[in-house]
């Protein structure tokens, strides 16, 4: 007998929260009642779900009575504050923030990569960082062919990764520059229109930023491989939505380009776009609003005996966040 679930979304009015609502509807998740939660200033707004207007309620410690599954995308501070109350109410929390990702008692899950880890939860399951998800959906099939020993990855991260205000800032700055008007910088530390810059997260003593360190730590945890060597560089680019990643991998044995294309063509959640004759490879516009991660530029790394080079694109708001969370709920 199928069961319907009482589902809550914490952070429902944010960019990822809105995508979570759409994704639940589009994938026909068995929702009995949907509760939308946000900050006090957003309470009273209404959002559409399956043809109905649902009023947003203020997120508080008592929001999770009778809730089976809660999707959190309200920031790490809110997750730490309210997720324990949800778990105490019997709710399973799927958290999109970094609050619990590296907690040894919390599984960090990409359904195409390590679905079995969902069973290890004690009330909280963590959604990885968007760049990590997009990377590992493509690399796991190759890892299974021959263990990957080293990854060099450079990201091209869209404004959507910083939320709705950042996306609007890119739109506004672009329009004003084209009209020869002055711009303001608020959501980002630097002008984002017609510019790119190193990811705007804390720089650690080793010279790597927080976003880069997340890719290292999370990839090792998800693949259960603490010896995996990863060198990331994360960059903000003036793209509205969808992240791209340039990736070089080294494996224990040489995997041919043909072998890689074959395994990736058959991989869940992956689409190969690799048309050398017409110079057609993955672009952010190919994956906007799409569930799959695109991969192309699949070629030998001519500087390494066992190396491959790839180019990847994925929708940060969907597979990089909302879709991954809903897929975890589907596993539950």
Cα–Cα dist 101/132, whole Å = 12
Number of H-type helices and E-type strands within the chain: 8, 14
Cβ count within 10 A of residue 323: 26
Instruction: Report the distance separating Cα 331 and Cα 59, nearest Å.
Output: 26
The Cα 223–Cα 217 span in angstroms is 10
DSSP letter for 240, please: S
Distance CA 260, CA 264 (A): 6
DSSP for 124-179, please give it. Answer: EEEPPPHHHHHHHHHHHHHHHHS-EEEEEEEEEE-GGGG-HHHHHHHHHHHHHHHT
Query: Which residues, other chains included, contact 131 with Cβ-Cβ below 8 Å and sequence gap of 6+?
Result: 153, 155, 157, 211, 214, 215, 232, 234, 243, 245, 320
CA distance 128 to 322: 11
Say which residues have a Cβ less than 8 Å from residue 17's Cβ, sequence separation at least 6.
9, 10, 11, 36, 38, 73, 74, 322
Question: 153 near 215, Cβ under 8 Å?
Answer: yes
- The catalytic residue positions are 130, 243
**At which residue do the structure tokens 């997750």 appear?**
79
Phi, psi of 206 (to 5 degrees): -80, 0
Centre a 10 Å sphere on the Cβ of residue 79 and count the other Cβ atoms it contains. 24
Take residue 67 and report the two structure tokens written for it. 């809730």
């Amino acid at each position: 007998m199928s069961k319907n679930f009482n589902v809550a979304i914490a952070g429902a009015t944010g960019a990822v929260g809105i995508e979570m609502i759409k994704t639940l509807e589009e994938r026909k998740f068995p929702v009995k009642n949907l509760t939308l939660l946000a900050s006090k200033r957003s309470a009273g707004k209404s959002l559409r779900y399956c043809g109905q207007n649902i009023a947003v309620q203020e997120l508080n410690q008592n929001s999770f009575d009778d809730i089976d599954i809660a999707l959190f995308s309200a920031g790490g501070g809110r997750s730490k504050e309210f997720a324990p109350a949800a778990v105490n109410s019997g709710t399973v929390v799927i958290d999109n923030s970094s609050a619990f990702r590296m907690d040894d008692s919390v599984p960090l899950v990409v359904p195409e990569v390590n679905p079995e880890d969902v069973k290890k939860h004690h009330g909280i399951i963590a959604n990885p960082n968007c760049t990590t998800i997009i990377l590992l959906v493509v690399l796991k099939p190759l890892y299974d062919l021959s263990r990957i020993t080293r990854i060099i990855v450079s990201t091209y991260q869209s404004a959507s990764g910083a939320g709705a205000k950042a996306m609007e800032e890119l739109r506004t700055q672009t329009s004003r520059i084209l009209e020869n008007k002055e711009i303001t910088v608020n959501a980002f530390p630097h002008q984002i229109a017609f510019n790119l810059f190193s990811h705007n997260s804390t720089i650690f003593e080793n010279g790597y930023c927080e976003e880069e360190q997340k890719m290292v730590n999370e990839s090792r945890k998800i693949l259960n491989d603490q010896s995996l060597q990863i060198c990331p560089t994360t960059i903000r680019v003036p793209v509205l939505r969808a992240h791209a990643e340039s990736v070089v991998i080294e494996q224990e044995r040489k995997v041919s380009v043909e072998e890689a294309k074959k395994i990736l063509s058959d991989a869940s959640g992956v689409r190969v776009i690799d048309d050398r004759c017409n110079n057609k490879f993955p672009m952010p516009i190919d994956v906007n609003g799409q569930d799959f991660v695109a991969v192309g530029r699949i070629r030998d790394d001519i500087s390494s005996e066992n190396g491959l080079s790839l180019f990847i694109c994925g929708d940060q708001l969907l597979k990089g966040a909302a879709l991954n969370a809903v897929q975890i709920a589907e596993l539950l």
